Amino acid sequence: MALPTGTFTMDRTGRIVTTTISNNFPEKLSLEIGHAVIDAFRKAKAAEVVLTEISMNFAALKLTARELRGGAIVFVAPRDSGDNR
Amino acid sequence: MTKKPKILLLDDDQDILDLYKEMLGALPSGPEIQTANSGARAIALLEAETFTLLISDLKMPKMDGLQLLTIVRKRFPSLRTVVMSALNDQQFKDRAYSMGIDQFLEKPRTGKEINYFCECIEGLLTKGESTGGFRGVQSKSLMDIIQLECLSQSSSVLKITTGPVEGRIWIENGEVVDAVAADAIGEEAFRLIASWKGGSFEILPPELGRKRTIHSSYHALLLETAQAIDEAGAPSAVAEIPHGETAPPFKVDAAPSAPPAREREPDTADSKLFDSSRLPGIKFIVAVNRAKPRPPASWGLENPEGVGDWVDDTVNTFRRLGEKYQWGDFKSIEARGLQSNVAIITHNDHAIAAGWERSLAWAQVRDGMKKILARWIS
């Protein structure tokens, strides 16, 4: 399966406002990522760990999200093969 | 359902063991009682199970009661201990109390004495044995004890033990002159000891002429330490006043909150995290066992369960996403925060999260996480 790449913005209501993710990828994918990210920010805040940015590192993909007034801007990027992080 | 307290009864006389087992078994708290007729057997039982209280005879062949207490204090610092003796020997009593026992009781002979004995044991079993903090009678903060020693211009050595780790603070004529804890010395060791959440301590005779490594006044030291503890979000250490001593006439810290109903991560998990608490820039650590939902092992957090739940939820959510869309193995999470930066790694069923000073570079954080993982695995 091809890896998505690009950026999208989700508002606090969970709606995708802007996206540069290719149309080849279903919107459902961006929605799932966005909701998970916003949920992570909210739950962290509830646990008194206030976060402004969060990165999830997978072997083949990196997701980076910045908190945006209850919403988030999410960067999706395949990883370089030499990046071991 | 409340767990029944467990008593380990140690005496080399089987008749005494049988008698006391029957007597204590009738206590209102309904304790479960196990017996051992040698110190070695008692230690083996203590290693195998968690007990609320150890009641030990003082005079026994091979390993006597005081020898056993030395081992118990070091290896099971939170265990309540009662020493029984047929002799009311003040010297033995002083030695036993200086080792941090809870009660020194004479073996009862009359019906009235048996009643007092039983009341005393029942009191120890029911006075909130698992409230955490430094195991003690009056729950003074460690900072209170140091302040008392300094205010009274005393000279002494405070020996503080938490799990397998030991620290010492040297006080000379009312000034803190040196401290040692694990690999740290001086003010770093003092701060480390102050960050400990529980254990026990003894006041040892002074060692005058100790080389001075701490030059700050005790006022400044206590203030800085209190601020550091506040910033780290850790509750102040609560220390034990041995029974033989008079409790200082000032404030008594509130007892730490009651333990959660769920079974906690084993103490070894806390100990492993504690080993990592000296890493530069670390603010908190929490380890969640995803296979067995239970309160997480943690260090430096006021609400470990809340943070643990967040770690667990977040790791599970993104792990599932990664599996669903085939993004490869889940590696880690790194987050920037307003108070701390946070990194999460996983190992088998555990997720370990650590908070770090924001000034630390991510390369240092990653290096620190590798060290935490190495200690965790070990």
Least confident of A1-15, A25-39, B37-51, B257-271: B257-271
CB contacts < 8 Å between A and B, how many?
Answer: 92
Average pLDDT over residues B135-147: 62
**Average pLDDT of span B355-377:** 89
**Residue B137 corresponds to which tokens in the numbers above?**
């009678």
pLDDT at B200 over 60: yes
Average pLDDT for residues A51-75, to the nearest whole number? Answer: 94
CB spacing of A49 vs B332 below 8 angstroms? no
Give, as one character, the DSSP assignment of residue A2. Answer: P
* Residue B230: predicted pLDDT: 65
Confidence tier at B252 by pLDDT (50, 70, 90):
very low
Q: What is the pLDDT of residue A81?
A: 54
Residue A39 or residue B159, greater confidence: A39
Which of B322, B331, B338 is closest, CB to CB, to A85?
B331
Query: Does pLDDT of B194 surpass 90?
Result: no
Which positions in chain B touch A29 (Cβ < 8 Å)? Answer: 325
Our CA-based measurement puts residue A14 at a distance from the nearest CA of chain B, in whole angstroms, of 17
Q: Which of B305, B314, B358 to mutate to test the interface with A (most CBs of A within 10 A)?
A: B314
| Between B104 and B320, the higher pLDDT residue | B320
CA angle B353, B356, B360 (to 5 degrees): 135
Chain A residues with CB-CB distance to B333 below 8 A: 54-57
**pLDDT for position B233:** 53
User: For position B259, what pLDDT does the model report?
Assistant: 39
Residue B247 pLDDT exceeds 50: no
Is the confidence at residue B258, as pLDDT, over 80? no
Per-residue pLDDT band at B131 (split at 50, 70, 90)? very low
Place of tokens 């359902």: B1
Interface check for A2 against chain B (CB to CB < 8 A): the answer is no
For A62, which residue in chain B has the nearest alpha carbon? B327
| Higher local confidence (pLDDT), A69 or B240 | A69
**What is the ipTM metric for this complex?**
0.94
Q: How confident is the model at residue A83 (pLDDT cuts 50, 70, 90)?
A: low
Single-letter residue type at B54: L
pLDDT-derived band at A36 (thresholds 50, 70, 90) equals very high
Segment 316-355 of chain B within 8 Å of chain A by CB: 317-318, 321-322, 325-340, 342, 355
CB of B33 within 8 A of CB of B19?
Answer: no
3-state secondary structure of A85: coil
| Claim: this prediction has a pTM higher than 0.90 | no
Average pLDDT score, chain B: 77
Question: pLDDT digit string (tens) for B173-184?
Answer: 888 999 998 778
Q: Is B307 on the interface with A (CB under 8 A)?
A: yes
Joined together, the tokens standing for residue A13 give: 């209501």
